[in-house]
Amino acid sequence: MLKNVVVLSLLAVGCAASTAATKPDPSASLYDRLGQKPAITAVVDDFIANVAADARINSFFAKTDIPHLKLMLVEQICQVSGGPCTYSGKDMLTVHTGMNVKDEHFNAMVEDLVKTLDKLKVGRKEKDDLIGALAAMKGDIVNH
């Protein structure tokens, strides 16, 4: 299940509440700057809709329990952004072994996430920080 690849693409996920009108405190945690759990949840919801519409990668999710996937993505993004959540899912290597995820699939996920983050007007720094935090998982997701 590519459910956690989404996370990676979610690579910038938690900022739905940040808007151009409200600038986050640069000294706050990424979790706080993203808008905390409600904003992360909004990003995950929109991101999953983008993935579902993306013919390049949606077949990876054909048999996925979407509500569970959303829960895992919210937990993972919350945790990697310094929030109070603990990711309770499987590690990325275990989840993606045998899936044959290629760079182009991973890149498509990132594009879908960036589309969501742009739509929700997530700040450049928050987007970059989240993508950087999640990008560290790529080695466990691609080509296993």
Mean pLDDT of 25-29: 85
Q: CATH code at 84?
A: 1.10.490.10
Residue 105 lies inside a defined structural domain of this protein: yes
Alpha helices by DSSP H, the chain: 3-9, 30-34, 36-52, 66-80, 92-96, 103-119, 124-135, 138-141
Count the domains in the chain.
1
pLDDT > 90: percent of the chain = 75
Q: What is the pTM of this model?
A: 0.82
Q: Which domain holds residue 10?
A: 3-18+30-141
pLDDT number for residue 13: 38
Question: Packing angle between helix 66-80 and helix 124-135, nearest 10 degrees?
Answer: 100
**What mean pLDDT do residues 130-141 have?**
90
Specify the 3-state DSSP secondary structure of 19. strand
Distance CA 16, CA 18 (A): 6
pLDDT value, residue 24: 66
Q: Tens of pLDDT along 79-88?
A: 999 999 999 9
Given a contact cutoff of 8 angstroms between Cβ atoms, the answer to whether 69 and 61 are in contact is yes
Asked whether residue 23 is assigned to any structural domain, the reply reads: no
Buried b (16+ CB within 10 A) or exposed e, 109-118: bbebbbebbe
Q: Looking at residue 22, what is its pLDDT?
A: 59
Q: Which of 18-32, 72-86, 107-121 has the lowest mean pLDDT?
A: 18-32
Q: Is residue 93 part of a domain?
A: yes
Q: Does residue 46 have a pLDDT over 90?
A: yes
